[in-house]
Amino acid sequence: MRDNQGKDISFEQSSQICLRKKSLSSGLRWAHYQNDHERIFYANNKQHTLSMYLSGGFETHRTDIRSDFGAPGRFCLMPKGCESHWQLGRPQQFMHLYFDDNYLKQLALKTFDIDPRMLSLPELTFVENSGLEAMFRHQMVNTDWLDTNNQMLMEQVTNTILVTMLQNLGAAKFTDKVKGGLAPKVLLQVCDFIHAFFHRQIFLSELAAVAQLSEYHFCRMFKENMAQTPQEYITAVRIKQVKLLISTTKLSLTDIALQCGFANQSHMGRCFKKIQGITPKQYRNYLLG
């Protein structure tokens, strides 16, 4: 039995065993762990974490606050910036879903039309949700994470998990509008401009001119509204068009890259993999079955 001699150590420095891990995109990844009999602290510095116990956990509890004990199917939500301290008991397995704040905000904006500035996650310890548990166990645990053909399925299920989480947190309470940012009419004009001209180079000065703002103020206000920079939004629009052309045409990847505003196929491939987690060629093979 490891007791750390009464001293808490970080989760990263602990004796946890990572059984498997999978990065779906730059803002979304999974990990499956096993650990036991340690005193640890978990500090979120970069991403939010949604954790579920797969087995064990009956002797595990938090030491920094009063809490129940863990058990299979119980969840913990640990937002970015929080720190928690734990006493672990007998061997347990659990899965972590790591997701960026901007990724969640963009998903909430697309799904619920939530103003990204309103979204703030609470810290939750050992809560139960049968719907989320079913998706974790039956759709994520049983999936082969090494098979690239499962990449798109895993991303779809992960997005459904995050949307379900927001619904259970009461997504409606995040819908109040916050002052600041671009006016809705101006934001629509800027987005329409991007969708009309994504096939060519779009200069920041052009977008700022549409909004009638300086480039600095335009960038800051656009990100407030969209939880991403103008360039990130442009790239996302282009990748969406790449996916459409791959799925509906037999154009070469080189031709698709040029039609979608990328400098070349290599540039498109880097951007595509960063967002989708796989290459355009792998995406085409996935569609072909």
User: 206 and 168, same structural domain?
Assistant: no
Q: Is residue 179 part of a domain?
A: no
Residue 268 and residue 154 in one domain: no
Judge whether 82 lies within some domain. Answer: yes
User: Do 136 and 161 contact (CB within 8 A), yes or no?
Assistant: yes
Output 106-114 pairs: Cβ under 8 A, ≥24 positions apart. 106/226, 106/227, 106/228, 107/159, 107/162, 107/163, 108/166, 108/171, 108/174, 109/226, 109/227, 111/163, 111/166, 112/166, 112/171, 112/174, 112/175, 113/175, 114/166, 114/171, 114/174, 114/175
CATH code of the domain containing 194? 1.10.10.60
Domain check: are 112 and 90 in the same one?
A: yes
* 166 shares its domain with 192: no
Do 170 and 206 belong together in one domain?
A: no
**For residue 267, is it within any domain?**
yes
Q: Are residues 115 and 9 part of one domain?
A: yes
Q: Structural domain of residue 251, as residue ranges?
A: 184-288
How confident is the prediction along the chain (289 residues), in pLDDT tens digits per residue?
444 456 899 999 999 999 999 999 889 999 999 999 999 999 988 899 999 999 999 999 999 999 999 999 999 999 999 999 999 999 999 999 999 999 999 999 888 888 888 888 999 999 999 999 999 999 999 999 998 889 889 999 999 999 999 999 886 566 556 667 899 899 999 999 999 999 999 999 999 999 999 999 999 999 999 999 999 999 999 999 999 999 999 999 999 999 999 999 999 999 999 998 899 999 999 888 7
In a domain, residue 91? The reply is yes
Q: How many domains does the chain fold into?
A: 2
Same domain, 218 and 107: no
The answer to whether residue 28 sits within a structural domain is yes
| Residue 231 CB neighbours (<10 A) | 12
Domain shared by 169 and 202, yes or no? no
